[in-house]
Structure 1
């Protein structure tokens, strides 16, 4: 049982680290009113392991801090990712083509308010929702589903719990 817990923590930590690195590498177009945060493609990972839920939350939290985000963005942007990740995990055994929907919706509904009221971006909320939604559609809907398809081939071995080892 101890090995299982250690492996779970290692998976969560690796996912957080990958999220942070990808956020940092693609920071020039991962922040702002028009953004495609490539690291959000990782929100598909809760379909494979529950360790991805805290990994994504911590990764987003640290990625936002290192990206110079303001406190409301650090908190609410990370919560948007957490909500999306939890819902992906809960939907994992349902229709796989719907898995990107929770992170797309949670970020589309939360992040525009942070941009408007936290950063003072004077664009109308519907326009901000549209731009964030398109960015999330690209990162979660397109890139996330490419990642899902690639990882689905290794579903039984990649995130195996190792309880019997």
Structure 2
């Protein structure tokens, strides 16, 4: 049992770290009303391991904090990622549905954060479209490409003990 806990925590920490690094590296593309957050490609990882749920949450939380996001963005953005990761994990039986929760969740929540947290005047429905397009690119396209690439090696990378 102890080995499984260590593996879970290690996977979660690694996912969080990679999310933070990607958010920092691609910061100019990952914030505001037209955004493609490359780190969001990692939101497909609940397909492989439940450790991705806290890993993505902590990664998003730290990425937003270090990226200079406002408090509303830090809280709501991170909670949206947490919920989406949990729902993605529940949808893991169909690899093509895993990317939908973060796309939908962020397309709905982020525009409200941009309006109320940053004071952007762009109409919320338009921001839902622009954020949604960015999420389709990062989660739907990049994330699905990542999922298909990792799926070939899932037994090596995400080796889990089967009970």
Taking structure 1 as the reference length, the TM-score comes to: 0.96
Show the 5 A alignment for 1:115-130: 115-130=114-129
Q: Which residue does 1:58 correspond to in 2?
A: 58
Aligned Cα root-mean-square deviation (Å): 1.2
Cα offsets for 1:105-159 (capped at 9, x unmatched): 0000000000011110001110010000000000000000000000111122211
1:73 pairs with 2:73:
yes
Displacement of 1:161 in angstroms is: 2.6
CA distance in 2, matches of 1:162, 1:16: 22
Displacement of 1:39 in angstroms is: 0.2
Name structure 1 gaps, 5 residues minimum. Answer: none
Secondary structure of 2:84's match? helix
Taking structure 2 as the reference length, the TM-score comes to: 0.97
4+ runs of 1 displaced by more than 6 Å? none
CA distance in 2, matches of 1:152, 1:100: 14
**Would you say how many aligned residue pairs link Structure 1 and Structure 2?**
163
Displacement of 1:38 in angstroms is: 0.3
Q: Which residue does 1:14 correspond to in 2?
A: 14
Verify the 8 A CA contact 1:8 1:161 in the aligned structure 2.
Answer: no
Cα offsets for 1:4-31 (capped at 9, x unmatched): 1001100000000000000000001100
Displacement of 1:34 in angstroms is: 0.7
CA distance in 2, matches of 1:76, 1:110: 8
Deviates more, 1:73-82 or 1:153-162: 153-162
CA distance in 1, matches of 2:140, 2:161: 30
Cα offsets for 1:33-75 (capped at 9, x unmatched): 1100000000000000000000000000000000000100000
Displacement of 1:163 in angstroms is: 7.3
Q: Which residue does 1:161 correspond to in 2?
A: 160
CA distance in 1, matches of 2:38, 2:80: 15
CA distance in 1, matches of 2:106, 2:82: 10
